[in-house]
Amino acid sequence: MALNDSRATARPSRTAVSLTWLAVTAIVCAGGAAGATALFYSLTPAAAGATCAGGATAGNLSLTDDLGRCVTVPFDPARVAVLSPSIMDTVYRLGLRAHVVAVDCYATALGGLYDDYSSDQVALWNLTPSMCVQVAPVFTLEDLANATPDLVLASTIVSQTAVAQIGSVLGLPVVMLQPPDLEGILRDVTLLAEIFGVATNATILNSQLSVELANASAARATFSTTPSVLVTYSVDSNGYWTYGAGTFGTSLVTLAGATSISATNSNPYPELPAETVLADNPAIVVYGTGFGLNESYYTTAPDWSSLPAVQGGHVYGIDSNYLTEPDPSMILDGLPALLAIFHP
């Protein structure tokens, strides 16, 4: 489970960050405790008038990643480092597991491989600690170098500084995959298919995803009400971490036929104080489970027992991966699960 992480770095003041930067918040679970911090990514699109031409040329192709960066990558690379569980889900579903030589992990003392991947994911995807590239609390460039990948696929759990080092020190291309909404997941499937030449597999997967999205849209059109909800993936003494405007989390809630109480929050990943949640009075509360998180953990949040939804029994746990990882599983499994909760 990872939105993004920077264990050793305090969250920067949001007022000091330009609006052209993308704020991404991370969940950290270790020993039953959870914390949240933020990383900020500068969007660096191609200059006005410039193009990022696709297609293979001399074994390479150029493409635009999710942060607007024009990246030249080898076509169908044999050895790939996948530094995000959400990307690993897509890579596996496209039949590309054999290309993966490294994955993201946290420091061993903080859980290592199992702090970012569930036991089921580790088994299904045949992941081992020997594949670990430590991404937090400090990115270990040596881990990545030892894996000798031809390409790095990463989300913003990898810091901007680390991405720069991967390019400047190791000379490796980095494609950033961080979809802002559910439709962006399909775009990333297509992008990976272009890199690896698996158009047929991508067509099949995107067809499955499109069916789920269409079914959800059709169902939403029949709903007479859209309940207000709080979807939280972590809490602490200050409040409830959730999603704001323009994020995949809010996109997920909307398509599932509900209205997030934080849908118009200008902070993409805000922490809502208890008084705000009480005032907004969500009819339903959904919380993420797994990685040491359960309902007992969420009861430690301020004023949890005072929330009318809690008092009325309208509180539901769901696998955190379905809430924090913008990948095919979010659409295929998470979306139907939320539909069933919001509209039983």
* Spatial distance between the Cα atoms of 109 and 188, rounded to a whole number of angstroms: 33
Please report the pLDDT score of residue 41 as a whole number.
43
Please report the pLDDT score of residue 53 as a whole number.
60
Please report the pLDDT score of residue 26 as a whole number.
32
pTM score: 0.84
Mean pLDDT, each 10-residue run in order, the chain (344 residues)? 39 23 31 28 41 65 94 96 97 98 90 90 96 94 97 94 95 95 96 97 98 96 95 95 94 96 95 97 96 90 97 96 95 97 96
95 torsion bin: left (phi>0), alpha (psi -120 to 50), beta (else): left
Name all domains of the chain by residue range, CATH numbers in brackets: 46-178 (3.40.50.1980), 206-342 (3.40.50.1980)
> For residue 144, what are the contacts with CB-CB under 8 A and spacing of at least 6?
81, 102, 133, 152, 166, 170, 172
Please report the pLDDT score of residue 115 as a whole number.
86
Please report the pLDDT score of residue 294 as a whole number.
87
* Spatial distance between the Cα atoms of 248 and 330, rounded to a whole number of angstroms: 10
Please report the pLDDT score of residue 2 as a whole number.
56
Please report the pLDDT score of residue 52 as a whole number.
72
- Supply φ then ψ for residue 263, to 5 degrees: -60, -30
Please report the pLDDT score of residue 49 as a whole number.
41
